[in-house]
Amino acid sequence: MSVNIDKLTLTAARSPSALVNCAQLLTLAGPNRPRTRGEMRELAIIPDGAMFIRGSKIEAVGSRSHIEALLPDDTRIIDAGGRVVTPGFVDAHTHLVFAGNRADEFEMRCSGITYQEIAKQGGGIRSTVRRTRAATEDDLLSTAQKHASWFLRGGTTTIEAKSGYGLSVEAEMKILRVVRQTGQTEPLRCVPTFLGAHEVPEEFLGRTGAYVDLVIEEMLPLVAVEKLASFCDVFCEPHIFDQQAARRILQAARRLGLGLRIHADQFSCSGGAMLAADLGAVTADHLEHTDAASIAALAAASVQPVLLPGSVYSIGSRHYPPARAMIDAGLAVVLATDFNPGSSPIASMPVVLSLACTQMKMTPAETITAATINAAYSLSLGREVGSFETDKSADFVIHEANDFREIPYFLGTQRPAMVFAQGERVVF
Residues that bind ligand NIG (CB under 6 A): 95, 124-125, 128, 235, 263, 266, 311, 338, 340-344
Which residue number has the CB closest to ligand NIG?
342
Specify the residue, 237 or 338, whose C-beta has the smaller distance to Fe ion: 338
Tell me which of 91, 265, 288, 338 binds Fe ion, using CB under 5 A: 338
Specify the residue, 172 or 338, whose C-beta has the smaller distance to Fe ion: 338
**DSSP labels, 10-21:** HHTTTS-EEEEE
Which residue number has the CB closest to Fe ion?
338
Could you give the CA distance from residue 141 to residue 232 in angstroms, rounded to a whole number?
21
- Closest contact distance (angstroms) between CB of 243 and ligand NIG is 16
Specify the residue, 106 or 410, whose C-beta has the smaller distance to ligand NIG: 106
- Closest contact distance (angstroms) between CB of 332 and ligand NIG is 20
| Cα-based distances in Å from 235 to 198, 246, 389 | 5, 8, 36
Specify the residue, 229 or 401, whose C-beta has the smaller distance to ligand NIG: 229
Residue 265 interacting with Fe ion (CB under 5 A) = no
- Closest contact distance (angstroms) between CB of 257 and Fe ion is 23
CA 268-364-331 angle, 5° bins = 45
Contact 288, 323 (CB under 8 A): no
364 interacts with, out of ligand NIG, Fe ion, none, CB within 5 to 8 A per kind: none
DSSP state of 38: G
Could you give the CA distance from residue 277 to residue 280 in angstroms, rounded to a whole number?
5
C-alpha R_g of the chain: 21
Specify the residue, 262 or 419, whose C-beta has the smaller distance to Fe ion: 262
- Closest contact distance (angstroms) between CB of 133 and ligand NIG is 14
Could you give the CA distance from residue 312 to residue 247 in angstroms, rounded to a whole number?
26
Could you give the CA distance from residue 241 to residue 328 in angstroms, rounded to a whole number?
30
Contact 89, 157 (CB under 8 A): yes
- Closest contact distance (angstroms) between CB of 25 and ligand NIG is 34
64 interacts with, out of ligand NIG, Fe ion, none, CB within 5 to 8 A per kind: none
- Closest contact distance (angstroms) between CB of 205 and ligand NIG is 17
- Closest contact distance (angstroms) between CB of 344 and ligand NIG is 6
Residues binding Fe ion: number (CB under 5 A): 1
Reduced to 3 states (helix: H, G, I; strand: E, B; else coil), residue 277 is helix
Residue type at 247 in one-letter notation? R
Q: Is 155 left (phi over 0), alpha (psi -120 to 50) or beta?
A: left
* Interface ranges with Fe ion (CB under 5 A): 338
